């Protein structure tokens, strides 16, 4: 266990559904991240939050909407997704953002299937 939890672990949704992914970290970190990992592709950084403020949106489609109510919680709201959005969605956290000793710890991920 890394101290980063994600729920649900698996999710199947239709293209018209709305769902949310949740991430919680118990490490006292200040930065949180959402990544997408598709089959046989490298990790794709989606969003970065530092002290609850979004600092990066990596050209992610608006059907993905992040929310960070505090430094310990991060959500990813999903609506009208496409089948190509099926992937493993990973949350990570680090103590400091943008420092040379940034070490990110990952949650177990949510395996998403869009039908």
Partner 1 sequence: QKEVEQNSGPLSVPEGAIASLNCTYSDRGSQSFFWYRQYSGKSPELIMSIYSNGDKEDGRFTAQLNKASQYVSLLIRDSQPSDSATYLCAVFSGGYNKLIFGAGTRLAVHP
Which residues lie near partner 1 (CB under 8 A)?
2, 41-43, 45, 48, 56, 88, 90, 98-109, 111
Look at the block and give the residue holding tokens 């959005």. Answer: 85
For the CB of residue 1, give the shortest distance to partner 1 in the complex, in Å: 11
Our CB check for partner 1 shows the closer of 17 and 105 to be 105
CA nearest to 113, candidates 18, 12, 38, 7: 12
Tell me the C-alpha distance between 58 and 104, whole Å: 18
For the CB of residue 3, give the shortest distance to partner 1 in the complex, in Å: 12
Inter-residue contact 4 to 92 (CB < 8 Å):
yes
For the CB of residue 22, give the shortest distance to partner 1 in the complex, in Å: 15
């Amino acid at each position: 266990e890394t101290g980063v939890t994600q729920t649900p672990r698996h999710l199947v949704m239709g293209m018209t559904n709305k769902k949310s992914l949740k991430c919680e970290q118990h490490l006292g970190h200040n930065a949180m991240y959402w990544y997408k990992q598709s089959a046989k592709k490298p990790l794709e950084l989606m969003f970065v939050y530092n002290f609850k403020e979004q600092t990066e949106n990596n050209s992610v489609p608006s059907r993905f909407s992040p929310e960070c109510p505090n430094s310990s919680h991060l959500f990813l709201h999903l609506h009208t997704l496409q089948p190509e959005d099926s992937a493993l969605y990973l949350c990570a956290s680090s103590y400091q953002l943008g420092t040379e000793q940034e070490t990110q710890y990952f949650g177990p991920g949510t395996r998403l299937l869009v039908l």
